[in-house]
Structure 1
Amino acid sequence: MPLDAAALKASGADTVHTLLCRREAGAFQRAAKSGEELLVACTQESALFLELNEQTEGAPSVQQRPIRFVNIRETGGWSKDAARSMPKLAALIAAAQLPEAEPVSTVSYQSAGRCVVIGPAGAAQAAADLLADKLDVTLLLTQGGQGGGALAQAHEQAVSAGRVTALTGWLGQFELSWESSNPIDLDLCTRCNACVDACPEGAIDFSYQIDLSRCTSHRDCVKVCDAAGAIDFARAPQSFSERFDLVLDLSPVPLLGQHQPPQGYFHAGRDSDKLMQAVLKLRDLVGEFEKPKFFNYKSKLCAHSRNKQVGCNACVEVCSADAIRSDIKGAGGIIVEPYLCVGCGACTTVCPSGALSYATPGLAQQGLTMRTLLSSYKAAGGRDAVLLLHSQGAGKTMIEALGRAARTSRTVQGLAAHVLPLAVHHTASLGLDAWLGAIAYGASGVTVLMTDEEAPEYHAALTEQIAIGNALLAGLGLGAERLRLLQAEDVTALDGGLKSPVAPALKQAAAFAMQADKRSNLELALDHLMAQAPTVPELITLPAAGSPFGTVVVDTTKCTLCLSCVGACPSAALADNPDAPQLRFIEKNCVQCGLCESTCPEQAIKLAPRLWLADGGKARKSARVLNEQAPFRCIRCSKPFGTLKAIENMLGKLAGHPAFQGAAAERLKMCSDCRVIDLHSSTSEVRITDL
């Protein structure tokens, strides 16, 4: 790699080596003895350096003083653009020196090793043989009749046969239900094979299940099994349910169809490579395990449901792990199952209100990392940086492969000098607020790399969010394609996708720090973008799908000012006026959840996605009147108690009802107090007349 020692030292590198591997191990050991925090610009030999640290006398352990590693080789040094990559390398080194994120709460799993293997007899038995020395294995044979292979003659595992009716749960807590109609009871069967010999149709094989389509009811098998009594054709189908810690599914079609299946569930089908990978992982899943609780949820901000009405359903629809479900029949809002959550963060990206936020790391930490990357890059002389967000899994692997390909291929460029890679737990965990924040911090663009590891739901959700962000930037005159979604299945597609034109970065970078609250970050970013925009229009129309900004349009000919929408609004965007019959609206607070629209009994409300920037954006932050009507006054005491339209509407609907005729109809025009007084006065007069 062509390294500029002076530039790298300015970014915080103490020493620049020509070959930071085994040859210069002594230099690392001397640095380790200093007791200072260590950052090593080599990830390939991280295991070596950690081992050297432990073997160095006088060096603190990694528990006392952590050692961090950063890759500057495949991400910049191995590129056709390497000679101009010093600002990028300086930025990567600066970001790698940031403090670790604050620890978050965790979710614990406990597994005693009870594993069920589901599938045809032969394949299930073979898998059980690979697991039996580590796990307590049960077999559930799912392929009836012949062709499923053979069970072992020895009764080494519990065996059942049947059709799976339900499978739910996660590592340590799976609930499996099945129905068995096999005439042979596999618990009673001694596997003497007498039934196999006796069957004239050959309807019984060594999986000890009967192919009923071939059986002609000779019942010779029943006679030879008389002593064991394992065969009974009159036995009714039986239902079973049992708990397991682990599941190995060898069915052709997965029993659990989520893109992100639960921890502890593995589907291998008939793929021998997948089977071996699953077996190796299953053998280690005994004991107690922890994972981060990836999300924070604030039910008060949730726009999913209010008053048994459904509004925003974005998180439920995008979750590829089925970890989120509606709680409309309970307390309202949603329920997020932390044991099923895999930490993709897509729910936090599509959540318009910020009720769901990503916790590992949070937005404040991610914002600090982005700002450090971009400011260090600029300070080292870099221009017009593109922030490349990629996952720590397949995305990182592909970027490293791109760097290696650039060393050997004449056509592959590698990561250009202006492309700053930033690894995140999952690409769907950062959304519109983070992307616009990056543009405000000085990025000329943000590219989100997606590979085949992401669910289709994530691709659709990020596409919608990027369309909204680009519409905002284009409306402000800051360029139409600064935000990009790059779908790459291989190195060639990644290399080609990164060669798009680069727009100039904003003249002045923002200095604000990102907050934990999504809406606050959006407002901070928008304020800075507006300040940098050549012109600020009065209105920017936004795409309808997924917009977190907009207004509500009220049909005043239908609205009766019943104010049901005010009670349903989770963000205080809609409000009444205690001094007059009015419906007020603060556009800045609206999250476009649709609860007002679904709640309105008159169907008088529609959503209109937009960003209203009249008066420099001040107008959207102030309350304005959407509808107001003259009050209806009590015909007895003249006190206002409703609106004219509401009372007229009520009178029209009850005009033909026999219970509201004559005096009863007149009482509808009275306030609650006068209604009671009038009712009692009429009753007293009737009683005096009767006397």
Structure 2
Amino acid sequence: MPTLICDCNKTMPLDPKALGRALDESLTLHSTLCRREAGAFQQAIRSGDEVVVACTQEKRLFGELAGQTEGAVSPIRFVNIRETGGWSKDARSAMPKLAALLAAARLPEPEPVATVTYKSAGRLLVIGPMQDAERFAGLVGDALDVTVFARGGSGAQERKFPVVGGRIESLAGWLGAFDFAWSQDNPIDLDLCTRCNACVEACPEQAIGLDYQVDLQACRSHRACVKACGVAGAIDFTRTPVPHTERFDLVLDLREQPAFLRHALPQGYFHLPSAEAQGPRALDVVLKLRELVGEFEKPRFFAYKQKLCAHSRNEQTGCTACIDICSAEAIRSDKSRQQVVVEPNLCVGCGACTTVCPTGAMTYAYPRAGEQGTKLRTLLSTYEAAGGKAPVLLLHSQESGQAMVEAVGRAARVGAAEGVPANVIPVPVWHVASTGIDLWLTAVAQGASHVALLTTGEEAPQYLDALEQQMQVAEAILAGLGYEGSHFSLLRARAAADLDQDLRLLARRGGTVPRVRARYAVSAEKRTTLDLALDHLAEQAPVRAESIALPTGALFGSVSVDKDKCTLCMSCVGACPASALQDNQTAPQLRFVEKNCVQCGLCEKTCPESAISLQPRLLLTPERKQPRVLNEAQPFGCIRCGKPFGTLKGIELMIGKLAGHAMFQGAALERLKMCGDCRVIDIFSSQNESRITDS
């Protein structure tokens, strides 16, 4: 795979020999690859092999040049080595990092995944004050089919767009499928109104404004407006509110309070309050609205395995982590099926649900965990092989995070910042919430001295809380194993200057790592990856610990059973989604495999005797993977055939509770001491004896 590097008019101190050794490729250093040396690019793209171009600044120009090059058949990939390290105070020391970035750019593209399709015919609903709504309608009316829902204000005399009004009942949906319900409850029918202003002039209370709706609180029932309306017949105070429903493809909401009180708004819905209606964002919204006509696709970002889900069992709710964290409200509980349901049209692909899922029932699909793991392993192994020390991974979003990192690099070029340090490796991801403790611990096991997540203010507050909680758990594990220093951090930068300062501290913040680097591949199963990471970290640990106490909410832990309360009814076994709690087919025993426990709490909620409590911790002895007995009891044998069918304590408790009941006296009480088969036999035998006696 040919790799083309350019020092951008000699502004970067690139070492082609060092980079070439790391990539096992002979590299030629260019200075004006996008200008005078463009022939080298054209020659490379005629080879048929994929070509890596170490420049994103002129990505568009290279694309145009490829289209003009006869015989150009090579796919092209672009990677930024300029702002991410080439323009930095310590750029001369950054060759291992730049080699790592180039190596990651050579990896295969993520495998295709299922997609979600939106279809929009351009039917736009604009909600807000009439003058603002009609102004925006005029800006997009040539491209979109606009309907205005008036909410006060004053309109133009010329009616260019359909205008409706009334009381909004509901608005739900997404791009191409917004269902809008309202009640036409005002005396003035805007569809009949000619905007002659006769009613406005006639009303003695001035209860009618230029939005042509009656303020019923100000109206004193003079009905002069009805007389003034005359033959138009648009005003009727006796009209029963008429319910309406209509479907729209797009919604522009100009009210102060949005229709959706959630952090991640549905695609196709734009909220533009009055403070922003005159600013630069208004132009951005108008341009986006005009583009949203046609058919659009996005990846189906998640995969869900119901059999692994710890959400619900036996009508008891356990884990709700994915529902609680989703900022798009795309996940809900389906009690009838005892599982969660994800609406893919609302999902924005943040991946937060997958990182908080304790079992791995919810996984991130684009890119998959294995592909993310391969990228991190490639970055770290190439960096180390090229002589780099104490690598720090900086995970950031592909849009705002990437823009902030590049802004730091550009500021460093003119001396206004120090730039991205040589040992800090920027890693773009779709969203910073899409990676969690399994990948972070894997990165440390593979040599990362620190993993930092860059947030830029666009993230939902609950995402930051969840990420910090996971970092506390991961840090507690490493500290318990004797790994010194800080391994995880959440950067809350709001501007390039903030990030530049954070990066200076970050470069020196790394903790100790295993002496022998892990080389395992990240599994598609979250718990499998976690086990691989924990096993390697424990094997290489500076300190041998038997167990590590973890914060509340950790996805590892034990279960404690109050033996005085437990009757071994095994309700908890049926509720456990991870097979952590097990029975014994040959003896009345409750057994527990700690490795499988995800601390979902279903056992605790299901237990009828309230005998179970959770204990977050990480057990590191071999006992963690082996069944151990939490409680056992003497079996109770059937008084008729002798076969064990329950526990002595359980049968005695049942008899004690039912002994005073009228239906369980005499022989009926004795049958409680029989197994199911003998109970049936005894009932039929008694009935036959009764018939013989009667005859």
**TM-score category of the 2 structures, normalised to the smaller one:** over 0.9
Q: Distance in 1 between matches of 2:37 and 2:558?
A: 63
Q: Distance in 2 between matches of 1:689 and 1:29?
A: 107
1:195 and 2:206 matched: no
1:4 and 2:15 matched: yes
In structure 2, the partner of 1:385 is: 391
1:684 CA drift (Å): 3.6
1:671 CA drift (Å): 1.6
- After superposition, the C-alpha distances for 1:253-297 in whole angstroms (9 at most, x for unaligned) are 111111111111110111123332222111111111100000111
Q: Distance in 2 between matches of 1:490 and 1:409?
A: 17
1:598 and 2:605 matched: yes
1:231 CA drift (Å): 0.3
Q: Distance in 1 between matches of 2:365 and 2:31?
A: 39
Q: Distance in 1 between matches of 2:457 and 2:96?
A: 31
In structure 1, the partner of 2:61 is: 48
In structure 1, the partner of 2:413 is: 407
Q: Distance in 2 between matches of 1:625 and 1:506?
A: 34
1:510 and 2:518 matched: yes
Match of 2:440 among 423, 435, 440: 435
Matched to 1:566, the amino acid is: V
Please give the TM-score of this superposition, normalised by the length of structure 2.
0.95
The question of whether the paired residues in 2 share the 8 Å contact of 1:225 and 1:231 is answered with yes
The question of whether the paired residues in 1 share the 8 Å contact of 2:538 and 2:620 is answered with no
The question of whether the paired residues in 2 share the 8 Å contact of 1:142 and 1:164 is answered with no
1:5-44 aligned within 5 A: 5-10=16-21, 11=23, 12=25, 14-44=27-57
Counterpart of 2:382 in 1: which secondary structure? helix
In structure 1, the partner of 2:371 is: 365
1:185 and 2:196 matched: no
The question of whether the paired residues in 2 share the 8 Å contact of 1:38 and 1:68 is answered with yes
1:408 CA drift (Å): 2.8
1:199 CA drift (Å): 1.7
The question of whether the paired residues in 2 share the 8 Å contact of 1:189 and 1:228 is answered with yes
1:576 and 2:605 matched: no
1:448 and 2:453 matched: yes
1:112 CA drift (Å): 1.1
Q: Distance in 2 between matches of 1:404 and 1:656?
A: 84
Tell which deviates more after alignment, 638-647 or 41-50.
Answer: 638-647
In structure 2, the partner of 1:165 is: 169
Q: Distance in 2 between matches of 1:503 and 1:606?
A: 34
1:663 CA drift (Å): 2.3
1:129 CA drift (Å): 0.9
1:623 and 2:627 matched: yes
Counterpart of 1:49 in 2: which secondary structure? helix
1:212 CA drift (Å): 2.3
1:554 and 2:565 matched: no
Q: Distance in 1 between matches of 2:256 and 2:266?
A: 18
In structure 2, the partner of 1:123 is: 132
Counterpart of 1:225 in 2: which secondary structure? helix
Q: Distance in 1 between matches of 2:33 and 2:18?
A: 18
The question of whether the paired residues in 2 share the 8 Å contact of 1:385 and 1:505 is answered with no
1:194 CA drift (Å): 1.6
The question of whether the paired residues in 2 share the 8 Å contact of 1:327 and 1:335 is answered with yes
- After superposition, the C-alpha distances for 1:190-240 in whole angstroms (9 at most, x for unaligned) are 222221222223222221111223322221110122312110112233322
In structure 1, the partner of 2:98 is: 89
1:105 CA drift (Å): 0.9
Q: Distance in 2 between matches of 1:158 and 1:13?
A: 66
Matched to 2:82, the amino acid is: R
In structure 2, the partner of 1:57 is: 70
In structure 2, the partner of 1:70 is: 79
- After superposition, the C-alpha distances for 1:355-383 in whole angstroms (9 at most, x for unaligned) are 11111111111111111111111111101
1:262 and 2:270 matched: no
1:688 CA drift (Å): 4.0
- After superposition, the C-alpha distances for 1:587-632 in whole angstroms (9 at most, x for unaligned) are 1111111111111111111111111112xxx211111111110011
- After superposition, the C-alpha distances for 1:95-138 in whole angstroms (9 at most, x for unaligned) are 11111111111010111111111111111111111121111111
The question of whether the paired residues in 2 share the 8 Å contact of 1:473 and 1:480 is answered with no
Matched to 1:224, the amino acid is: A
Counterpart of 2:45 in 1: which secondary structure? helix
Matched to 1:83, the amino acid is: R
Instruction: Tell me how many residue pairs correspond in the alignment.
Output: 676
Match of 1:607 among 604, 614, 623: 614
1:312 and 2:319 matched: yes
1:689 CA drift (Å): 4.1
In structure 1, the partner of 2:114 is: 105
Match of 1:422 among 424, 427, 432: 427
In structure 1, the partner of 2:234 is: 230
- After superposition, the C-alpha distances for 1:525-548 in whole angstroms (9 at most, x for unaligned) are 111111211222111111112x12
1:436 CA drift (Å): 0.6
1:349 and 2:347 matched: no
Please give the TM-score of this superposition, normalised by the length of structure 1.
0.95
In structure 2, the partner of 1:134 is: 143
Cα separation, partners in 2 of 1:34 and 1:684, compared to 1, 3 Å: closer
Counterpart of 2:174 in 1: which secondary structure? coil
Counterpart of 2:303 in 1: which secondary structure? strand
Q: Distance in 2 between matches of 1:114 and 1:15?
A: 54
Q: Let me know the Cα RMSD of the aligned residues.
A: 1.5
Counterpart of 1:227 in 2: which secondary structure? helix
In structure 2, the partner of 1:475 is: 480
1:474 CA drift (Å): 0.5
Q: Distance in 2 between matches of 1:241 and 1:269?
A: 25
1:626-637 aligned within 5 A: 626-637=630-641
Q: Distance in 1 between matches of 2:128 and 2:273?
A: 8
In structure 2, the partner of 1:496 is: 501
- After superposition, the C-alpha distances for 1:454-513 in whole angstroms (9 at most, x for unaligned) are 111110110111111001100110125211111111222212222143334432211111
Counterpart of 1:382 in 2: which secondary structure? coil
Match of 2:470 among 461, 465, 489: 465
Matched to 2:342, the amino acid is: V
- After superposition, the C-alpha distances for 1:21-71 in whole angstroms (9 at most, x for unaligned) are 3232233223223333211111011000111111112222xxxx3211111
1:452 CA drift (Å): 0.6
- After superposition, the C-alpha distances for 1:150-204 in whole angstroms (9 at most, x for unaligned) are 1x33343221112222111111111111223211011111222221222223222
Counterpart of 1:266 in 2: which secondary structure? strand
Q: Distance in 2 between matches of 1:192 and 1:437?
A: 72
1:311-330 aligned within 5 A: 311-328=318-335, 330=336
Consecutive unaligned residues in structure 2, runs of 5 or more: 1-11
The question of whether the paired residues in 2 share the 8 Å contact of 1:260 and 1:342 is answered with yes
The question of whether the paired residues in 2 share the 8 Å contact of 1:142 and 1:163 is answered with no
The question of whether the paired residues in 1 share the 8 Å contact of 2:17 and 2:27 is answered with no
The question of whether the paired residues in 1 share the 8 Å contact of 2:331 and 2:343 is answered with yes
1:350 CA drift (Å): 0.4
1:251 and 2:255 matched: yes
1:396 CA drift (Å): 0.5
Matched to 1:475, the amino acid is: G
Q: Distance in 1 between matches of 2:44 and 2:233?
A: 76
1:649 CA drift (Å): 1.6
Counterpart of 1:22 in 2: which secondary structure? coil
Tell which deviates more after alignment, 354-363 or 657-666.
Answer: 657-666
Q: Distance in 1 between matches of 2:223 and 2:628?
A: 84
The question of whether the paired residues in 2 share the 8 Å contact of 1:98 and 1:369 is answered with yes
In structure 1, the partner of 2:403 is: 397
Q: Distance in 1 between matches of 2:19 and 2:159?
A: 66
Counterpart of 1:74 in 2: which secondary structure? helix
Q: Distance in 1 between matches of 2:282 and 2:430?
A: 26
The question of whether the paired residues in 2 share the 8 Å contact of 1:245 and 1:264 is answered with yes
Cα separation, partners in 2 of 1:562 and 1:71, compared to 1, 3 Å: same
